[in-house]
Amino acid sequence: MGLTSNKMLALAILFAVLLFVGTLWLWPRLARRSWRAVSGRAGLLLATQLALFVCLGIAVNQAFGFYASWGDLFGTETDQGVVVDHTAGAAAGAPLRVVSTSEVHGMGGSLPRTAGQIQQVGIVGRTTHIATPAYVYLPPEYFQQQYRTRTFPVVVVLSGYPGTARALVDKLHYPRTAQHLVRAGKMRPTILVMLRPTVAPPRDTECVDIPHGPQTESFFARDLPAAVRAHYRAAVKPGGWGIVGDSTGGYCALKLAMHHPGVYAAGAGLSPSYKAPLDATTGDLFQGDRNLKNRANLWWFLKHEPAPDTSLLVTSSKVGETNYKATLKFIASVEATKLTRISSIILDSGGHNFNTWRREIPATLQWLSGRLSGG
């Protein structure tokens, strides 16, 4: 039974209810002062509280998409995965292979030319050999006759850590939001490539090229764009690609846009951090390489490296976000460069959660579209 399934949540709730009823039923029998009675009462109360905690944890995980499976939760998911090609005629060893397709729900019809299409894909980096699943959203215009010779701008969308790529579709509603904006004339038709930055689960690589480890930054800066361009009518010229992410994904988006302005013309960080942490989830990211550690610190980069010719967007909240003061400082630091462009979304209140990011995503996608060149 899957961690995110409704059956799992229903079973946990049922178990909690039965424990509660059982506690009420057995309580009179355990009213004595013997050690067995006291132990029984303590055990029932503890079991009931634990069952309620499990229900809450499963419900929160379903809402926010922290862990996709039991293996993801317990850190036993270590395989990079096997890419299975279900597309007839695809070249063997292709860097991007389509696994399945689905429609964008609630957008009026099931035909790709009217509702767009979401493709679940497997991507293998030609140079980094990193393999990771992703979801690609193709707008309705991609399938329409009048656009058959056009290329489309691309926005790479990153989840937080641990996060799931599917949550970008089902919980944060990136494809649906993009379609609404296009229909309202606020955004150009754009390809969205949605994935999590955790390309070597369960390790949090913080989009760093780890010495003797996963070359995550190179994957996002070189392999991913090459794979997408080889398979889709995606923008080839500089200025046609942007990147956005939340939390850890937001830090990655800012860093990739700053380190590789020739690849990403714009980067948006929703509730981002501004340097890579070192903790139990990351391990030793830099292996004693001081230059690598410095470059992963966006404060250091702004002060010591040439200002990148790119556009950045950062978001925070005056109440509810821990990065508010750091975000104001980052904005001031970018403004001092005179070349890198900076924009922001500052909410009066909002936490580090999906609800807050859903409030910021429409304006963020509109901002990105305005800074990307068309096909």
Closest CA to 299 of 336, 262, 271, 266: 336
pLDDT, tens digit, 9 for 90 and up, residues 91-144: 446 799 999 999 887 666 678 998 899 999 999 999 999 999 999 999 999 999
In single-letter form, the type of residue at position 16 comes to A
Q: What is the DSSP string of 212-250?
A: TS-BHHHIIIIIHHHHHHHHS-B--STTSEEEEEETHHH
The pLDDT, as a whole number, for residue 70 is 67
In sign, the C-alpha dihedral spanning 330, 334, 340, 341 is positive
Q: In this structure, what are the phi and psi dihedrals at residue 242, rounded to the nearest 5 degrees?
A: -130, 170
In sign, the C-alpha dihedral spanning 364, 366, 369, 370 is negative
3-state class (DSSP) for residue 37: helix
Closest CA to 153 of 240, 63, 243: 240
pLDDT, tens digit, 9 for 90 and up, residues 300-328: 999 999 999 999 999 999 999 999 999 99
Compute CA distances 10 → 5, 7, 60, whole Å: 9, 5, 14
Q: Kindly give the confidence (pLDDT) of every residue in the chain, 375 residues in length, as a single tens digit, with 9 standing for 90 and above.
A: 666 677 888 888 988 898 888 888 888 877 777 888 888 888 888 888 898 888 888 888 766 556 656 665 665 554 433 333 333 444 446 799 999 999 887 666 678 998 899 999 999 999 999 999 999 999 999 999 999 999 999 999 999 998 899 999 999 999 999 999 999 999 999 999 999 999 998 899 999 999 999 999 999 999 999 999 999 999 998 899 999 999 999 999 999 999 999 999 999 999 999 999 999 999 999 999 999 999 999 999 999 999 999 999 999 999 999 999 999 999 999 999 989 999 999 999 998 999 999 999 999 999 999 999 865
Distance of alpha carbon 311 from alpha carbon 143, whole angstroms: 30
CB 187 within 8 A of CB 369: yes
**Which distant-in-sequence residues (6+ apart) come within 8 Å of 36 by Cβ?**
none
The pLDDT, as a whole number, for residue 176 is 95
The pLDDT, as a whole number, for residue 19 is 86
Question: What kind and span of H or E run contains 47?
Answer: helix 35-64
Closest CA to 193 of 263, 242, 248: 242
CB 374 within 8 A of CB 265: no
Give 179: exposed, middle or buried? Use CB within 10 Å, 0-12, 13-18, 19+.
Answer: buried
The pLDDT, as a whole number, for residue 80 is 39
Q: What is the DSSP string of 145-192?
A: GGGTT--B-EEEEE--SS--HHHHHHTS-HHHHHHHHHHTTSS---EE
In sign, the C-alpha dihedral spanning 42, 47, 53, 55 is negative
The pLDDT, as a whole number, for residue 170 is 92
Distance of alpha carbon 264 from alpha carbon 33, whole angstroms: 70
Distance of alpha carbon 77 from alpha carbon 72, whole angstroms: 5
Q: In this structure, what are the phi and psi dihedrals at residue 299, rounded to the nearest 5 degrees?
A: -65, -50
The pLDDT, as a whole number, for residue 32 is 77
Distance of alpha carbon 115 from alpha carbon 176, whole angstroms: 9
What is the number of other CB atoms lying within 10 angstroms of the CB of residue 74?
11
| Cis amide linkage into residue 277, ω under 30° from 0 | no
